Amino acid sequence: MCGIVGMVGENLKVEDLVVSLQKLEYRGYDSAGIAFLGDEFEVFKKKGPIDILKNGLKEKGSKGFLVGIAHTRWATHGEPNDVNAHPHTDCRNEIAVVHNGIVENFREIKEYLISKGHKFSSETDTEVIVHLIEEEFEGDLLQAVMKAVRKLRGAYAIAVMHRKVKDLIVAARRGSPLVLGVGNGVGLLASDVTPLLRYTRNVVFLEDGDVAVVKKDGYEIYDMDGNKCERKVYYIDWDEKAAEKGGHKHFMYKEILEDPQALVNALVGRVKGDRVVLEELEPVEDLLKGIKRIKVVSCGTSYYAALVFKYFVENFTDIDVDVDVSSEFRYKRPHVRENDVLVAISQSGETADTLESVRLAKRHGAKIVSVVNVVGSTLDRESNVSIYMNAGPEIGVAATKTYVAELGVLYLLGLKIIELNGVWNEETKTVLDRLVRMPELLENVLRKDPQIRELSEKYKDYNHFMYIGRNYGYPTALEGALKLKEISYIHAAAYQAGELKHGPIALLDPNFPVFAVIPDDSLFFKTKNNVIEARSRNAKVIALGTEGNKSLYEIADDVIFVPPTHESLYPLMMAPVIQLFAYHIADMKGLDPDKPRNLAKSVTVE
Ligand code: M6R
């Protein structure tokens, strides 16, 4: 995944283009580059994070421009270095292209272009695009791009400019997101909405196959056959400040502190009295009544949220909830029938595997209910029904507040499904009541930050961790282990506590601590026995349990308490603890938790 921005206007400043690019740094940060056309046509690229590019540009002195494109890269083809950084230029150094995605047939195209005399300088797949456009160029950049992209296989979002064309950028997408900013005297495009918020709240999401001409006073969109088309303008009500650090050292920390607010935003307006009101669900309500099974697809953290949903709905109803990781589902025999309901969970709404799973299920007649944070994202547009998380922009690569928002929405969705299927009793009312009170309790959990920090200090030098939990505690264990490994690079495995003795317990020794998710729930004594087993192998134990349960001190070296709640809601209550523990360890190790190595915020390629 990479980040693209483009601007067209008058007296634009290179600094502004770079500031916009920095809003996309979470999408890739191994090299960055810029091409702009003012008095001269200039291309400047640097290995490393955008700051290096920025400093290099500063040394060259401030510049104004009319047309500019910029890129932050997450390498797939060719190592991160100055040459492989985007933009790439053609043989005459007249056309510049930035690209997000993977050109699958780049080898064939490259051979063809070499036979035509084109000279390549990088190892990237992207470079074929610019030479292909050069090959097709007969004075009209739009036509040349259209002809070129028809020859590409794979995924792309591109922005293209020409040294002799001073008033436009041509953009195109298939499989990778691209958004245009609408109406304020500057032509704008970007990989997502965050860089656009400084200029406008009105945006257009390009669809697969679209080619757009972006000018300072407007835009035109064409389909692959060259027909002009209209696309819906979305209003984005995100606050630009929400995409800034607000004085915190890292976005991740700031976003963890926003957990309670993210939950408020996910719940607000969706609970009336002792009932859940999800008007968005209306088109599929009839299908959900009496439903026998629900399919769910998602990846990473969203998958762990899906597991919580499964435990929740299955504990209260006879409905089977089949949860699959999207990258598996998309290649399976899908077992989807006409009018099945498939829930797709994705904060970005752009995860390639989840989108393909959704398309597969739709081909088999399923109706798609998405739980998504980004309004207008591909998943949002391709779903029958979308329930927005309303978490606001999340910049840190690790999902934190969006996990909390996902859980919030999934509990509401679960409760609605439970109610539609004839189960509405004192217990479900209690769950809803506790859910609504949860944001306040999450503030209490966040106040434990100094204690969690101390614990992180104590445990930061271990090379392995085992997270365990049962029932609702298991997804928390999985998510805790994922957070730790993805930002601190410490090996962490997660198991159902009952699985320990089937193999993993062999790993335990004094150098392999166990992080036990052990709330006061109906399986507390079962989990307690597993913790005792682990301790008897001399493993250090951190217990994450319920306030007031002093017995945890007898079985654990360290204890973190969260307030009591309904047992189904502990995944929410415990989320800030597992997030902060991982965050502090990464920070103490001198790592940047906002930009973990080898990762990118949304995985738009397979
Ligand atoms: O945007 P999505 O929710 O579809 O993303 C899914 C995963 O890629 C994402 O949760 C990933 O696992 C994060 N690195 C978790 O912190």
- Residue 599 CA: nearest ligand 1 atom is 14
Q: Residue written as tokens 């769950």?
A: 431
Q: Which of 237, 282, 264 is nearest to 375 (CA)?
A: 237
**Cα–ligand 1 centroid distance for 540 (angstroms):** 30
**Distances 220 to 95, 175, 223, 274, 377 between C-alpha atoms, Å:** 20, 20, 10, 48, 20
Q: Which amino acid is located at 30 in the chain?
A: D
Say if residue 531's pLDDT is above 80: yes
Q: Which residues contact 93 (CB under 8 A, 6 or more apart)?
A: 41, 43, 163
CA 393 to chain CA centroid, nearest Å: 10
Q: Which amino acid is located at 458 in the chain?
A: K
Among 1, 301, 400, which is best to mutate for testing ligand 1, by the most ligand atoms less than 8 A from CB? 301
**Distances 34 to 11, 21, 22, 205 between C-alpha atoms, Å:** 17, 9, 12, 23
**pLDDT tens sequence across 515-526:** 999 999 999 999
CA–CA gap between residue 197 and residue 263 (Å, rounded)? 23
**Distances 401 to 202, 260, 431, 536 between C-alpha atoms, Å:** 25, 8, 21, 36
**Predicted local distance difference test score (pLDDT) of residue 542:** 98
Q: Which of 590, 589, 604, 528 is nearest to 154 (CA)?
A: 604
Q: Residue written as tokens 């860089």?
A: 195
Say if residue 107's pLDDT is above 90: yes
- Mean pLDDT, rounded, for 166-174: 96
**Predicted local distance difference test score (pLDDT) of residue 464:** 97
**Predicted local distance difference test score (pLDDT) of residue 62:** 73
Say what percent of the chain tops pLDDT 70.
100
- Residue 347 CA: nearest ligand 1 atom is 3
**Predicted local distance difference test score (pLDDT) of residue 449:** 96
Say what percent of the chain tops pLDDT 90.
84
Query: φ and ψ at 119, to 5 degrees?
Result: -110, 130
Is the minimum distance from the CB of 603 to ligand 1 under 6 angstroms?
Answer: yes
Query: φ and ψ at 403, to 5 degrees?
Result: -65, -45
**Cα–ligand 1 centroid distance for 537 (angstroms):** 34
Let me know: does 162 contact 141? Beta carbons within 8 Å: yes
**Predicted local distance difference test score (pLDDT) of residue 2:** 86
Among protein residues, the one with the nearest Cα to ligand 1's atom 1 is: 348
Say if residue 442's pLDDT is above 90: yes
Which two tokens mark 62?
Answer: 């401030």
DSSP E strands in 513-575: the ranges are: 514-518, 541-546, 558-562
**Cα–ligand 1 centroid distance for 404 (angstroms):** 13
**pLDDT tens sequence across 214-223:** 999 999 999 9
Among protein residues, the one with the nearest Cα to ligand 1's atom 2 is: 346
Say if residue 337's pLDDT is above 80: yes
**Predicted local distance difference test score (pLDDT) of residue 496:** 98
CA–CA gap between residue 246 and residue 185 (Å, rounded)? 29
Among protein residues, the one with the nearest Cα to ligand 1's atom 16 is: 398
**pLDDT interval class at 444 (50, 70, 90):** very high
Is the minimum distance from the CB of 488 to ligand 1 under 6 angstroms?
Answer: no
Among 348, 401, 488, which is best to mutate for testing ligand 1, by the most ligand atoms less than 8 A from CB? 348
3-state class percentages of the chain: helix first, strand second, coil last, to nearest 5? 40, 25, 35
- Mean pLDDT, rounded, for 535-540: 94
Is the minimum distance from the CB of 380 to ligand 1 under 6 angstroms?
Answer: no
Please, which residues bridge with residue 41 across strands?
Answer: 37
Is the minimum distance from the CB of 267 to ligand 1 under 6 angstroms?
Answer: no
- Residue 354 CA: nearest ligand 1 atom is 4
Is the minimum distance from the CB of 486 to ligand 1 under 6 angstroms?
Answer: yes
- Mean pLDDT, rounded, for 258-277: 93
CA–CA gap between residue 39 and residue 107 (Å, rounded)? 36
**Cα–ligand 1 centroid distance for 478 (angstroms):** 13
Q: State whether CATH 3.30.420.40 applies to domain 448-606.
A: no
Look at residue 177 and give its three-state secondary structure: coil
- Mean pLDDT, rounded, for 516-539: 96
**Predicted local distance difference test score (pLDDT) of residue 393:** 87
CA–CA gap between residue 172 and residue 565 (Å, rounded)? 49
Is the minimum distance from the CB of 370 to ligand 1 under 6 angstroms?
Answer: no
Among protein residues, the one with the nearest Cα to ligand 1's atom 14 is: 398
Is the minimum distance from the CB of 354 to ligand 1 under 6 angstroms?
Answer: yes
**pLDDT tens sequence across 18-69:** 999 998 887 777 899 999 999 899 999 999 989 999 999 988 877 889 999 9
Which residues carry out catalysis?
Answer: 2, 601
**pLDDT interval class at 604 (50, 70, 90):** confident
Is the minimum distance from the CB of 299 to ligand 1 under 6 angstroms?
Answer: yes
Let me know: does 514 contact 557? Beta carbons within 8 Å: no
Model pTM? 0.79
Look at residue 310 and give its three-state secondary structure: helix
For the chain, what are the domain ranges?
Answer: 3-236, 239-445, 448-606
**Predicted local distance difference test score (pLDDT) of residue 212:** 98
Which CATH class name applies to 3-236? alpha beta
**Predicted local distance difference test score (pLDDT) of residue 315:** 97
**Predicted local distance difference test score (pLDDT) of residue 380:** 94
**Predicted local distance difference test score (pLDDT) of residue 335:** 94
Q: Which of 479, 452, 451 is nearest to 467 (CA)?
A: 479
**Residue-wise DSSP of 192-248:** SSGGGGGT-SEEEEPPTT-EEEEETTEEEEE-TTS-EE--PEEE----GGGGS-TT-
Is the minimum distance from the CB of 398 to ligand 1 under 6 angstroms?
Answer: yes
- Residue 406 CA: nearest ligand 1 atom is 3
Is the minimum distance from the CB of 87 to ligand 1 under 6 angstroms?
Answer: no
**pLDDT interval class at 583 (50, 70, 90):** very high
Is the minimum distance from the CB of 351 to ligand 1 under 6 angstroms?
Answer: yes
Mean pLDDT, the chain, rounded, equals 94
**pLDDT tens sequence across 360-370:** 999 999 999 99
- Mean pLDDT, rounded, for 308-329: 97
- Mean pLDDT, rounded, for 585-590: 97
Fold identical between 3-236 and 239-445?
no
Burial of 492 (0-12, 13-18, 19+ CB in 10 A): buried
**Cα–ligand 1 centroid distance for 144 (angstroms):** 36
**Cα–ligand 1 centroid distance for 34 (angstroms):** 28
Is the minimum distance from the CB of 378 to ligand 1 under 6 angstroms?
Answer: no
Among protein residues, the one with the nearest Cα to ligand 1's atom 9 is: 300
CA–CA gap between residue 559 and residue 317 (Å, rounded)? 34
Is the peptide bond prior to 87 cis by the omega test (within 30 degrees of 0)?
yes
**Predicted local distance difference test score (pLDDT) of residue 600:** 75
Question: How many CB atoms are located within 10 Å of the residue 419 CB?
Answer: 18
**pLDDT tens sequence across 393-433:** 898 989 999 999 999 999 999 999 999 999 999 999 999 99
Which two tokens mark 570?
Answer: 């502990």
Question: How many CB atoms are located within 10 Å of the residue 498 CB?
Answer: 16
**pLDDT tens sequence across 550-572:** 999 999 999 999 999 999 999 99
Q: State whether CATH 3.30.43.10 applies to domain 239-445.
A: no
- Mean pLDDT, rounded, for 491-496: 98
Is the minimum distance from the CB of 100 to ligand 1 under 6 angstroms?
Answer: no
Residue 559 gets the label, from left (phi > 0), alpha (psi -120 to 50) or beta, of beta
**Cα–ligand 1 centroid distance for 118 (angstroms):** 39
**pLDDT tens sequence across 428-441:** 999 999 999 999 99
Let me know: does 341 contact 287? Beta carbons within 8 Å: yes
Among 26, 302, 583, which is best to mutate for testing ligand 1, by the most ligand atoms less than 8 A from CB? 302
**Predicted local distance difference test score (pLDDT) of residue 347:** 96
CB-side exposure of 546: number of CA atoms within 13 Å?
16
**Predicted local distance difference test score (pLDDT) of residue 376:** 87
Per-residue b or e along 278-313, where b marks 16 or more CB atoms closer than 10 Å to that residue's CB: bebbeebeebbeebeebbbbbbbbbbbbbbbbbbbb
**pLDDT tens sequence across 113-126:** 999 999 999 999 99
